[in-house]
Structure 1
Amino acid sequence: MSNFIAIPAGSYVIMNAKTHTYLNVLNFQAVPGDIVNSVGNHLGNDIWNVASIESGGVTIQSFGTGAFLSFDPSNKADSPAGSVVTSNSIYAWSLQQNTAVPYAWNIVDKSTGQALAVQNDSVANGAQVLEEDNNVANSGRAWFFIAKEPIPGTN
């Protein structure tokens, strides 16, 4: 049995289990949009469409911008390793069960093997989302996928 799993295709707000903040495209930026955490604005840049892909794993697409969650190693704006940003191209992620937090998943970059985390576990609105070591027992790597019905006019 694999610990890489998929959730049903659909629209979600994605909340960090430790900070209780949401994955967000900063100010609906065009590609490459900066990915930060948000205290929750109830708009489309807090909502993500998740779908399984043929190669295994999932794509995570912003409802508000239509761009895909991705990692750019050439963009050093956020960390020496690169930046979590949006892209016009499909990007593959895996969801791995987090053992520290029931019903939560690590969002793992299929290319780098790193997991998404809020920088320094900050609860500040707009704190940077980075890729860090994939530690399945770290609650700072755990994310809840909360089903959300997009509301017209919120993007």
Structure 2
Amino acid sequence: MSITIPTGSYVIMNAKTCTYLNVFYSHPVPADIVNSVGNNLGNDIWNVANTESRGVTIQSYGTGGFLSFDQLDRSDTPAGSVVTSNSIYPWSLQQNTAVPYAWKCTGKALAVVDNSAANGAQVIEDDNMNHTSRAWLFIAKEKS
């Protein structure tokens, strides 16, 4: 079942590590995606918008880059790397049996390497969808 997230700004927290999806040092596109202990800056905030195909786009509030998966960049895993892109990249959100929300893209989910809670740990794409560490919570960001 696909899940709809309302259009808005969010911090996106990993359910297992309680760390946040982050653009590494706010680098410009293509930037590596890591986890963060939370700095409350633009590189921890994501704009989410629905697509025509019932997916979502996820765009960095701080850098403007879209959350993406690059199969040609194999610096993170042999399958590719989770990075930012200038092109819109559609994600579909699928229920996770451990926690209400998890991302799924081409049959995979986002995960933090070794379930690490360390600041800057790599975010990768993984095969095991139904695991707490593959679940991401969308926490609405209040306007300041």
2:137 partner letter: F
Deviation of 1:114 after TM superposition, in Å, equals 1.0
**Aligned position for 1:133:** 127
**Aligned position for 1:10:** 8
Can you give the 5+ residue segments of structure 2 that lack an aligned partner in the other structure?
Answer: none
1:11-32 deviation per Cα after TM superposition (whole angstroms, max 9, x unaligned): 0000000000000000111111
Q: What is the distance in 2 between the residues matched to 1:150 and 1:50? A: 15
1:87–1:150 CA distance, 2 compared to 1 (3 A):
farther
**Aligned position for 1:93:** 91
**Aligned position for 2:108:** 114
How well do the aligned residues superpose, as a CA RMSD in angstroms?
A: 1.0
**Aligned position for 2:66:** 68
SS at match of 2:114: helix
Alignment of 1:10-49 (within 5 A): 10-49=8-47
The answer to whether the Cα contact below 8 Å between 2:12 and 2:21 also exists between their aligned partners in 1 is: yes
SS at match of 1:140: helix
2:102 partner letter: N
The answer to whether the Cα contact below 8 Å between 2:104 and 2:129 also exists between their aligned partners in 1 is: no
1:139 partner letter: T
> Which consecutive aligned stretches of 4+ in structure 1 deviate over 2 angstroms post-superposition?
none
How many residue pairs get aligned? The number is 144
1:62-99 deviation per Cα after TM superposition (whole angstroms, max 9, x unaligned): 00001100000000111111000000000010111111
Deviation of 1:59 after TM superposition, in Å, equals 0.3
Can you give the 5+ residue segments of structure 1 that lack an aligned partner in the other structure?
Answer: none
SS at match of 2:40: coil
Q: What percentage of aligned pairs have identical amino acids?
A: 69
Deviation of 1:149 after TM superposition, in Å, equals 2.8
